Amino acid sequence: MKILLISPTIDSNKRTNKGLMIPQLALYILQGLTPSEHEVRIIEEETEDIDLDQECDLIGISCMTANAPRAYELCEEFRKRGKTVILGGVHPTILPDEALKYADSVVVGEAEGVWKTLVTDFQNGDLKRRYHNPTPDLDVYVPKDFSRIIKKRLFQLVPIMTTRGCPYNCDFCCVTNLFGKKMRHISIENVVRDIKESGVKNFMFLDDNIIGHPAYAKELFKAIKPLKIKWVGQASVSLLVKDDELMQLAADSGCQALFFGIESVSEKQLESMHKAIKEIEHLEAALKKIKKMGILIHASMVFGFDSDTKEIFDETVQFLIKNKVSTVSFNVLTPYPGTKTYDDLKKANRLITTDWRYYDHNTVVFKPTNMTPYELQMGKINARKKFYRKSSVLKRLSGNLYNPIIYFATNYGHMKQVKVEAERMERIKKDIFEELAL
């Protein structure tokens, strides 16, 4: 049997800068879970076109909220051609009834524990409408074709995941909807096996918080240190700086850069999000401590909280440049379906569109409290412009000299994306802001 696995793009006519693309893993896990007698082909639409008439028996499409409309479009096209289509991923997990309007079946949550059963059911003509295993066994090793992953990546970063689940319950995050609140671990033995079998030395840990369980993280870092790899990942600022041993082990194991969800430089907002580091002075000290370990900092900032005023944009950029933060993702608050933020804004009649294409961290889809949607949109875009202009890159260089090649490469990629974002804004302005006079 021929199985086609697809990760759609948001816009079939546009592609993301390859240098800023986060490596895929989900479809490669599905491939590894598929019995070996079946032929599996993976297509990431960001890197190659989709032939709707290609020969296949079963199609699996994984999507998030922003690319759900494109996924639904593909479902309709394939089903017109008599194909059976399965939908899975974050968005179908949160809105399975919506997804079932377009697909023959939906995988809710994680694929481990249900994919083999689904394939067998399809072969036997007994495909169910939904498949869900809330606690799949993560101890079973899943082989992955890393050679395919490497070919599609500019920096040849191999994606690795070590944990599932998140104990936090942020109002604007839907991670717990997909993986649950309890942290579960892939065995360190299997993580090491993935690293060794990949045959490369550069990795990205996709965990929402690589140090969320400090004891596990310490053992993991000790185990991968002899492998002499380089890696990047996502972590909690507060957990890392409170544990000197943990921070040292991370650095010694090859950590080059960490993604930190700082979200805001407003003390009022940090407090409302129950952040462990609430005072700006403490946050600055934490960032300085991390940089001393030779770890580049990628900060994630979010604009659009109810406490944000028009001053937040300049305050944020000034803070980031002052602290010589390596790179930053500037986002607007996105009320993803399934989150408290979405429910609250919908109840208050503050959503201005439910076209999922715009639920992408970059587009304002609600009415802010202290500014218009257009002011929030342009404030975010201009903040990114200011942070990535040449004078800012040079000003921040002195705090990133311990890894200048990665620093310049990543900043250059973001500088190119600034122009792309401005062009995109011109395309969507009429769709969202002008017609609604916002």
Residue 82: φ, ψ to 5°: 80, 15
pLDDT attached to residue 235: 92
Question: How many alpha carbons lie under 13 Å from residue 130 in its C-beta half-sphere?
Answer: 15
User: Domain residues for 68?
Assistant: 2-132
Residue 311 structure tokens: 């001053």
Domain count, the chain: 2
**Predicted confidence (pLDDT) per residue in 366-384, tens digit:** 999 999 999 999 999 999 9
Q: Is it the case that residue 436 has pLDDT exceeding 70?
A: no
| Same domain assignment for residues 120 and 174 | no
Question: Has residue 189 been placed in a domain?
Answer: yes
| Same domain assignment for residues 187 and 224 | yes
**Residue 123 burial (CB count, 10 A):** 14
Question: Has residue 286 been placed in a domain?
Answer: yes
Question: Has residue 163 been placed in a domain?
Answer: yes
Residue 13 maps to which CATH number? 3.40.50.280
Question: Has residue 141 been placed in a domain?
Answer: no
| Same domain assignment for residues 234 and 354 | yes
d(CA 190, CA 140): 8
| Same domain assignment for residues 110 and 153 | no
Residue 157 maps to which CATH number? 3.80.30.20
Question: Has residue 186 been placed in a domain?
Answer: yes
d(CA 143, CA 193): 9
| Domain C-terminal end among 132, 167, 191 | 132
Q: Is it the case that residue 275 has pLDDT exceeding 60?
A: no
**Residue 69 burial (CB count, 10 A):** 20
| Same domain assignment for residues 98 and 182 | no
Question: Has residue 240 been placed in a domain?
Answer: yes
Average pLDDT over residues 307-327: 95
| Same domain assignment for residues 71 and 154 | no
Nearest to 259 by CA among 319, 329, 309: 329
Question: Has residue 137 been placed in a domain?
Answer: no
By DSSP bridging, strand 105-108 and strand 2-7 are: unpaired
| Same domain assignment for residues 233 and 339 | yes
| Same domain assignment for residues 127 and 157 | no
Cβ neighbourhood burial of 81 (10 Å; 0-12, 13-18, 19+): exposed
Q: Is it the case that residue 222 has pLDDT exceeding 80?
A: yes
| Same domain assignment for residues 157 and 38 | no
| Same domain assignment for residues 348 and 212 | yes
| Same domain assignment for residues 341 and 419 | yes
**Predicted confidence (pLDDT) per residue in 229-254, tens digit:** 999 999 988 888 889 999 999 999 99
Q: Residue 107's pLDDT band (boundaries 50, 70, 90)? A: very high
Whether this prediction's pTM lies above 0.75 is answered by: yes
Alpha carbon separation from 363 to 172, 322, 330, 352, 432 (Å, rounded) = 15, 27, 11, 11, 9
Question: How many alpha carbons lie under 13 Å from residue 403 in its C-beta half-sphere?
Answer: 21
Question: Has residue 350 been placed in a domain?
Answer: yes
Average pLDDT over residues 253-277: 76
| Same domain assignment for residues 120 and 161 | no
